[in-house]
Chain A
Amino acid sequence: AQSVAQPEDQVNVAEGNPLTVKCTYSVSGNPYLFWYVQYPNRGLQFLLKYITGDNLVKGSYGFEAEFNKSQTSFHLKKPSALVSDSALYFCAVREWTGGSYIPTFGRGTSLIVHP
């Protein structure tokens, strides 16, 4: 069965510093990996995804993520954090399971960027 873990409930970073939000996964086949962001009282918004190809994926708002197969990780990164990046971030993994494509989401990581 597929699973995903976000080991940090909260990440604190100062504005202008680089940020990393961690995600590890477990699948039996090839993973399809996604990052979403949720701002207060809003639904989830897509940031980026890894399907195949280049391990470094670039997405919206200057975010990027690196797929590492050996470490089964897909950490979200940004070179310079903004206060407006403060939000809840979800990692999700997806694989074919018996005829349906149901993704599994992590518990979410709250990112707080301090001015």
Chain B
Amino acid sequence: GAGVSQSPSNKVTEKGKDVELRCDPISGHTALYWYRQSLGQGLEFLIYFQGNSAPDKSGLPSDRFSAERTGGSVSTLTIQRTQQEDSAVYLCASSSAGATDTQYFGPGTRLTVL
């Protein structure tokens, strides 16, 4: 079946602009994660959605970052007033609900802030 998809694959924006990144998880997966991967760094956790529960936003680096998940499926990560340090690859993953379940990752969105 279809895997996790993300759009756009690349986004170039100017400093101060807002951007929206989209993630379509695998159908039926109730858990959805956003990560940020910077050059030479590991995966930085941003936010976690699980079913209808309140999201875990503990990884969001500032209030310029927000995310929502509509209808328990598609998720949008929004970065307001982008800064150059926001440049990174943003990865989305989905999984079933259990701690032992495998995460399936999308191809990522490469964000470049000029």
Chain B residues, CB < 8 A from A94: 99-100
Question: Roughly how many angstroms separate A103 CA and B98 CA in the complex, as a whole number?
Answer: 12
Find B56's partner among A32, A49, A100 (CB 8 Å cutoff): A100
Q: Is the CB of B91 within 8 A of A44?
A: yes
Q: Quick one: which of B31, B59, B98, B105 contacts A44, CB cutoff 8 A?
A: B105
* Interfacial chain B residues near A44, Cβ < 8 Å: 43, 91, 93, 103, 105
Hey, what's the 0/1 contact readout for B20-35 against A, CB within 8 Å counting as 1? Answer: 0000000000010101
Chain B, 29-48, contact with A by CB distance < 8 Å: what is the 0/1 string?
00101010000011101001
Give chain A nearest CB distance to B40 CB in angstroms.
Answer: 8
**Cβ of B60 under 8 Å from chain A:** no
Interface size range on A against B = 20 to 34
Q: Number of contact residues on B: which range applies?
A: 20 to 34
Q: What's the least CB distance linking A9 to chain B, in Å?
A: 8
Residues of chain B within 8 A (CB-CB) of A51 are 100
Q: A101-B98, A102-B56 are in contact. Are A42 and B107 (CB under 8 A)?
A: yes
Question: How many Å lie between the Cα of A43 and that of B89 in the bound state?
Answer: 10
Q: Name the interface residues of A24-81: CB closer than 8 Å to any CB of B.
A: 32, 34, 36, 41-46, 49, 51
14 A–B contacts from the bound complex (CB under 8 Å): A34-B103, A36-B105, A41-B107, A42-B107, A43-B4, A43-B93, A43-B105, A44-B105, A46-B104, A100-B50, A101-B99, A102-B33, A103-B103, A105-B43
Q: Given known contacts A43-B106, A44-B105, A107-B42, what 13 new A-B pairs fall within 8 Å (CB)? A: A42-B108, A43-B93, A43-B105, A43-B107, A44-B103, A90-B42, A100-B48, A101-B97, A102-B59, A104-B45, A105-B42, A105-B43, A107-B41
Residues of B within 8 A of A (CB): 4, 31, 33, 35, 41-43, 45, 48, 50, 56, 59, 91, 93, 97-100, 102-108
Across the A-B interface, give the 7 residue pairs with the lowest CB-CB distance, nearest first: A43-B105, A107-B42, A101-B99, A105-B43, A44-B105, A43-B107, A51-B100
